[in-house]
Amino acid sequence: MSFEIVSSGFQHRQRTGTPLSQALKTGIVFGVLSLYLALVGVYLTFDKSWVVVNVLSMGRTLLFVVPLLAGVQFARLNRSQSRAVQLGGTLLVGLIVGGFTACLLPVILFGNLRVMFVALSSPLAKMLALGLTPVLGAAVLVAGSAAAALFGALLTVMSPTVRRPITVGLAALAVVALLQEVLQLILRGGGAAFSFITRGLFQYGGLTVRGAIIVFVAAALVSIVVARLRAPFKARFAELPPGAARFLRQAGIVILLAAIIFFPLIGGSFVAQVFLLVGLYALMGMGLNVEVGLAGLLDLGFVAYFAIGAYTIALLTADSPHALASMSFWAALPIAVLVSVAFGFLFGIPVLGIRGDYLAVATLGIGEIVRVLVLSDVAQPLLGGAQGILNIPSPAIGSFELATPTSLYFLTVCCLALATYFAFRVQDSRLGRTWMAMRDDEDVAQALGINLVKTKLLAYSIGAAFAGVAGAIFAVMLKSIFPHSFQLLISINILALIIVGGLGSLGGVIVGALVLIGLPELLREFGEYRFLLYGAVIVAMMRLKPEGLWPARIRRRETADA
């Protein structure tokens, strides 16, 4: 029987009910979501940052974004209903969501749940009451929620020509507000012209009122202009000879890629550090994508190969009592890759006969055994135990040391480019087809003469090689390594990022890494909730968009078929 990685075809369709029952359901779902956000402390955490300084905090915005989304959802489900039903339903949805949230106020003020829920504190009460008295605040909260829901529904049903500028403007505002710290950092470094922009838009801690208006209006205008120009531009593009069109498209992609690749040069070392991490995760993602996305082998012990690459570099180059040699990084790198490959091969052998979900657990077990052994006193004399291995030198080209995040970032980009090219060629080759066949139906693949042992071990080994390179760079990035850096968490993160990008899709790996690793690093507010987010994202993607943000080639073709 085949194990399709991502479900396809049949999904349980939910029965649609009357508008009233849908309003109740939507209201309750989003109301519970709002309660959840309050309980895990999201509202309060985000209340510390501003969308517009001293006017609107992110927490308060979020408070109304939830009912707004509820309104959108309800309006989507009830497009065909009469205006009156839409209006009434949306109001009901907003009131329910607001009511749920407002219920927290008496709970905090009169109940005594603080022992259980740390987040239910008086600052939260103050925030929920919007700085007013509790009663008035609750009323405003509920009314505001209803208004937000109405606004959301209105956005959904209005004509796209009006909707697009508004949503684009709001989205731009949200992005600028979230990224304000990094943006200010970048702009400050950019000289007089940029500092003019900085002063115009920002003050310490975020956007000014004037800045917010400028961002919103500018983005909306751009969106209008783009919408106007799009049709004639498309027509022009269609008239071009196919060769030229393809050239233009490729040039566009190259420019976009170059912009992303060289962005850290402008962004300074903080941005470079973030991009370095993104690159390392993308490199590991490429490896896991070979195993899970192409060959259908769900490997939860993947972090082991990352650790093996890192430890090999440390043992071969570090200036530490545990070191076995004092090679240069460049000499040690191929060895690290080979060792990772060897372990990928070795760990692959026992699990050759295990399929599907059992395989996931078995590989998880292997990864955990590696971690426990590295941590233990048995391996302590060799690997340094919990204290890890320190003093790993930076790689050097001649006398130039790759010590800064920026230089290591470019090293990572080179490795990533190689890995991507490698994966790209392999996936369309005979081996890639074999993997896909095995993923779809192992027995049939074997009956067509495919040697499963060889095919599986190649997948494990190639996956391990990529992770080994990432581990090697990771070791010189931190200059010291500890077993605690190599937890199951990493395997799950990588799995999450390739799912978000789209299983089996090379572009998806990069997109996934940018979204799941890059964004939370840039947005400090998210830091605390990033793992929460990963869990939610995995579930949401599997349910709503199993093909990912950048679907693999084959899946895109399928949507073209339909």
Binding residues among 473-492 for another protein as defined by CB under 8 A: 488, 492
Closest distance of CB 277 from another protein, Å: 19
Closest distance of CB 174 from another protein, Å: 22
3 state DSSP class of 397: strand
Binding residues among 375-404 for another protein as defined by CB under 8 A: 375-378, 380
Binding residues among 419-448 for another protein as defined by CB under 8 A: 421-422, 425-426, 428-434, 436-437, 439-448
- Residue 314 CB-density burial (10 A; 0-12 exposed, 13-18 middle, 19+ buried): buried
Binding residues among 278-297 for another protein as defined by CB under 8 A: 296
Binding residues among 298-357 for another protein as defined by CB under 8 A: 298, 300, 346, 349-357
Closest distance of CB 371 from another protein, Å: 9
- Report the residue from 360, 478, 515, 519 that binds another protein according to the rule CB under 8 A: 360
Binding residues among 89-118 for another protein as defined by CB under 8 A: 115-118
Give the 3-state secondary structure of 259-308.
HHHHHHHHHHHHHHHHHHHHHHHHHHHHHHHHHHHHCCCCCCCCHHHHHH
Q: Which two tokens stand for residue 340?
A: 């990772």
> Across-strand partners of 207?
52, 202
Query: Counting contacts by CB under 8 A, is residue 543 touching another protein?
Result: yes
- Report the residue from 546, 548, 550, 551 that binds another protein according to the rule CB under 8 A: 546
Amino acid at 8: S
Closest distance of CB 376 from another protein, Å: 4
Closest distance of CB 8 from another protein, Å: 7
- Taking the least distance from each CB to another protein, the nearer of 47 and 187 is 47
**Core vs surface per residue 442-462: b (16+ CB within 10 A) or e:** beebeeeebeeeebbbbbbbb
- Residue 411 CB-density burial (10 A; 0-12 exposed, 13-18 middle, 19+ buried): buried
Q: Which stretch binds another protein (CB under 8 A): 72-80, 269-277, 451-459, 510-518?
A: 451-459
- Where does residue 503 fall: left (phi above 0), alpha (psi -120 to 50 degrees), or beta otherwise? beta
- The answer to whether the beta carbons of residues 360 and 481 sit under 8 Å apart is no
**CA distance linking residue 367 with residue 418, whole number of Å:** 26
* Per-position x/- string for 162-191, each x denoting binding to another protein as judged by CB under 8 A, each - no binding: ------------------------------
**CA distance linking residue 99 with residue 89, whole number of Å:** 15
Closest distance of CB 18 from another protein, Å: 22
Query: Counting contacts by CB under 8 A, is residue 369 touching another protein?
Result: yes
Query: Counting contacts by CB under 8 A, is residue 470 touching another protein?
Result: no
C-alpha 503, offset from chain centre: 14
Using CB under 8 A, count the residues that bind another protein: 104
Query: Counting contacts by CB under 8 A, is residue 365 touching another protein?
Result: yes
